[in-house]
Amino acid sequence: MNDLADRIHTIAHDDFGHDRLLTGQEETIAALGNGEDVLLVAPTGAGKSLTYLVAGRLLDGPVVVVSPLLALEQDQVDAVTAAPTPVAAARLSSAESAAQRRAALEQAAAGEVGYLFCSPELLADDDVRSALADLRPVLVAVDEAHCVAAWGHDFRPDYQRLGAVVEDLGRPPVLATTATAAAPVRAEIAERLRMRSPRTVVTGFARPEIALDVRRCRDEAEQTEAVVGVVADHAKAGEAGLVYARTRPAVEELAERLAGELDVPVGAYHGGLSRTRREAVQESFMDGSTPVVVATSAFGMGVDKPDVRFVVHAQVPGSPDVYWQEAGRAGRDGEPATATLMYRPEDLGLGRYFSGGVPSATDLRRVLAACDTPPEEADAAALAEDLPFGRRKTGKLLNLLELGVARLDGEDDPTPSAIVDSAREVAEAQRALELSRVDMIRAYAETGRCRAEYLLAYFGEVGEACGHCDSCRSGSAAEHAHDDDSPYTVDETVTHPTFGEGTVTDVTDGEVTVLFDEAGYRTIDATLAEEKDLLTG
């Protein structure tokens, strides 16, 4: 090892108790130590948080970590302060009083706090941002960075402005981490965070310890019985797991049914519950006193419970991105786990419904007219006070206007009508992408191909049959292998006469899948594409 590698391993061992580093960790930390920006794409459980913890010690200064959930931020604070060589950490969020936030910032200024975990919403506060800038942070880490990207599956407007925040903090090195990001999403993360020639470290999406299974259900009653049966088998074996449902009523009904059928406690978790109730459910799941939790997608981001043995999706989720992120919460200890999807084609309508619509030109014009600065500089909270939309909708409309301006590619003094039209085009492209993701999760559920290989291909990674999903066990996976002789290659940029420019994500014997910039995912007959010259390089 060289001197830098020695220091990295020493810090990881002595300060954080890690005898070895996982794939991608040393490369990421070394690049940050050399002042580079890094985009780290690694699966759940791959130790992304250790990279900014070690890098902070290596760079010897305060680290600002942007994280999307209060519970996740608190988990990270607890992990840092419980390290073998503790360094004080603090959370800056809406859960703390103004006095608590001031105290944390004062401690950081005195060198008593090394890691500050911040919500993106709080970073919109000028005073907080100014105080953080005075600290001269040595690193800004953006966790769950796919929230930055309009093409990401969990886009959040408050993340959109983090590029400007990084500049305000003195432009230290930036680390962006995510578990699920296809190539176009990675490119947008780098652009939105204003990363400088970032090193992209992709450790791979494969989770060979998770056996994937899809069960076709004829109706809702059969679907519910199938969920109960799978969960009961795991519960009898003393195993902990998660059941995901799409709606709050479905969570409540399933939790009640399972609580009546099982001999173990069952928790329910969704956004309609109080914060106190949600925190209690999460804590009891983490400590093992409630081994089964039924939840919407509101539960799980950043939940670090290594011994989750099963994840069941009671209905089909809205995209492969969401499915793989949630299924990936199983088996974080590397031991065998299962992920089961209860599939009923009728449930796809939920995904289409949740994909949203295109906002009216009237609403966009009202927000634009209320701005006395360019959209990218406007304050959504302040605008919302004078608009009838509320903070959340105002933020989304403002973000669309910002993207609309960017789409005009620097056009001098664009008219309000041009900005609004451009923003609606962005919204239409986003909706097309979301609808195409629904089609891709349908294809996952209905494919005879190895399910693990299908998911890897969705993220632009060529893999091999896993050997233990239901398709592999039945023997059907062998008939749907990757086509190494195809004229198309993964990550190749192609142009379609109707769909425009896109990136090849998957090539099988007979089909090629492309993520188009404007039309989302499309799977095209490979022979037809070649004969008609539909995909040109």
* Tens digits of residue pLDDT in 161-184: 788 899 999 999 999 998 776 676
- Give the separation between CA 185 and CA 24, rounded to whole angstroms: 19
Mean pLDDT over the full length of the chain:
87
Intra-chain end-to-end CA distance of the chain, in Å: 42
Q: Which residue has the tokens 């056009």?
A: 411
For 3-202, which CATH superfamily applies? P-loop containing nucleotide triphosphate hydrolases (3.40.50.300)
pLDDT digits (tens, 9 = 90+) for 292-311: 999 998 786 657 788 999 99
Q: Which residues contact 315 (CB under 8 A, 6 or more apart)?
A: 223, 245, 246, 250, 342, 344, 347, 350
The whole-number average pLDDT for the span 413-421 is 91
- Closest alpha carbon to 122 in 149, 95, 153, 89: 95
pLDDT digits (tens, 9 = 90+) for 116-158: 988 888 887 888 889 999 999 999 999 888 888 765 556 566 7
Domain with CATH 3.40.50.300 in the chain: 3-202, 217-350
Reply yes or no on domain 482-537 having CATH 2.40.10: yes
| Tokens, residue 227 | 């969920």
The CATH classification number of 217-350 equals 3.40.50.300
Q: Which residue has the tokens 């907080």?
A: 128
| pLDDT higher than 90, residue 91 | no
Lowest mean pLDDT among 122-126, 137-141, 230-234, 253-257: 122-126
User: Where does residue 390 rank: exposed (0-12), middle (13-18), buried (19+ CB within 10 A)?
Assistant: exposed
- Taken in order 441, 446, 452, 456, the sign of the CA dihedral is negative
- Closest alpha carbon to 113 in 64, 154, 76: 64
Beta strands, E only, 179-284: 199-202, 210-216, 240-244, 266-269
Lowest mean pLDDT among 51-60, 162-171, 212-221, 399-408: 399-408
The whole-number average pLDDT for the span 86-97 is 79
The whole-number average pLDDT for the span 325-339 is 92
Beta strands, E only, 376-488: none
The whole-number average pLDDT for the span 188-200 is 91
HSE-CB at 451 with a 13 A cutoff on CA atoms is 28
List residues bridging with 295 in a β-sheet. 244, 269
